[in-house]
């Protein structure tokens, strides 16, 4: 299967992005494989730029599906060489997007399958839970785990994320494994009718 995506726009602030009726966002630390996964799902080599230099994708990148739904590649977190002031800026950018973006249906939190969740991944998961932002964990680079270790690693990673094993998607962008289930889930969300209602403070 192929997720039909075309690049639409990039922005530093989510308010500058075009509206979306239904959106799925990809987050994770720099180098976890966000761009590679989007390219693999779309079956295009250069749709989302794959960078050997972590931390370079500093923009919110928006891609559109024929349904009208959209997919977003968020800037990666946790790149040590970035100055604190820039880190704070990125955090505000990502948090603003996650809390305020209308039409957001689901956040895919990418975790390196070979390494397991980092402290920052766990912090992101805690924050998403506490903020009641719908999310799912996707373990990347499954090809880097020895087949004999995979069953144990699946258990460990899910437990570390405080999830059931069956709730974690495992994918390899390079070997193109595990993509069909993920794609079916994404298409289901992008094709779905307009956004979940956001609860607003009641006017008095």
Ligand X SMILES: Nc1nc2c(ncn2[C@@H]2O[C@H](COP(=O)(O)OP(=O)(O)O)[C@@H](O)[C@H]2O)c(=O)[nH]1
Look-up: residue for tokens 């990148």? Answer: 61
Minimum CB separation from ligand X for residue 106, in Å? 18
Within its chain, how far is the Cα of 78 from the centroid? 15
User: Stretches 13-21, 118-126, 135-143, 193-201: which one binds ligand X (CB under 6 A)?
Assistant: 135-143
Helices and strands, counts by H and E, the chain: 5, 7
Say if CB 49 and CB 75 are below 8 A apart. no
33-61 burial: b if 16+ Cβ within 10 Å, else e: bbbbbbbbbbebeebbebeeebbebeebb
Minimum CB separation from ligand X for residue 139, in Å? 10
Answer for which of 14, 65, 135, 141 binds ligand X (CB under 6 A) is 141
Site string for Mg ion, 12-51 (x = CB under 5 A): ----------------------xx----------------
Answer for which of 105, 172, 178, 190 binds ligand X (CB under 6 A) is 172
In angstroms, the CA 57 to CA 194 distance is: 29
Q: Which is nearer to ligand X, 70 or 172 (CB)?
A: 172
Q: Which is nearer to Mg ion, 72 or 145 (CB)?
A: 72
Element (H, E) at 6: strand 6-11
User: Stretches 14-22, 83-91, 153-161, 171-179: which one binds ligand X (CB under 6 A)?
Assistant: 171-179
User: Stretches 6-14, 52-60, 62-70, 129-137: which one binds ligand X (CB under 6 A)?
Assistant: 52-60
Give strand ranges (E) for 31-145: 60-64, 70-73, 104-112, 135-140
Answer for which of 44, 51, 136, 192 binds ligand X (CB under 6 A) is 51
DSSP 7-53: EEEEESSGGGSPP-SSEEEEE-BTTSSHHHHHHHHHT-SSSSPP-SS
Q: Residue 57, interface with Mg ion (CB under 5 A)? A: yes
Q: Residue 34, interface with ligand X (CB under 6 A)? A: yes
Q: Where does this chain bind Mg ion (CB under 5 A)?
A: 34-35, 57
Q: Contact positions toward ligand X, by CB under 6 A? A: 28, 30-36, 50-52, 54, 57, 76, 140-141, 143-144, 172-174
């Amino acid at each position: 299967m192929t997720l039909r995506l075309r690049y639409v726009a990039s922005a530093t602030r989510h308010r500058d992005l075009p509206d979306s009726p239904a959106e799925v966002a990809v987050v994770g630390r720099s180098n976890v494989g966000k761009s590679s996964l989007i390219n693999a799902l779309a079956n295009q080599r250069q749709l989302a730029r794959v960078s050997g230099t972590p931390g370079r994708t500093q923009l919110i990148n928006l891609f559109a599906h024929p349904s009208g739904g959209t997919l977003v590649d968020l800037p990666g977190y946790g790149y040590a060489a970035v100055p604190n002031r820039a880190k704070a800026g990125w955090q505000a950018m990502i948090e603003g997007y996650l809390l305020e973006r209308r039409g957001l249906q689901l956040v895919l939190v990418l975790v390196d399958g070979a390494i397991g969740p980092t402290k920052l991944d766990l912090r992101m998961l805690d924050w998403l839970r506490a903020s009641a932002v719908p999310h799912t964990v996707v373990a990347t680079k499954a090809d880097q785990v020895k087949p004999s270790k995979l069953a144990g690693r699946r258990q460990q990673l899910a437990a570390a994320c405080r999830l059931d094993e069956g709730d974690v998607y495992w994918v390899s962008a390079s070997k193109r494994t595990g993509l069909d289930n993920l794609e079916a889930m994404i298409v289901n969300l992008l094709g779905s009718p307009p956004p979940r209602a956001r609860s607003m403070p009641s006017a008095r």
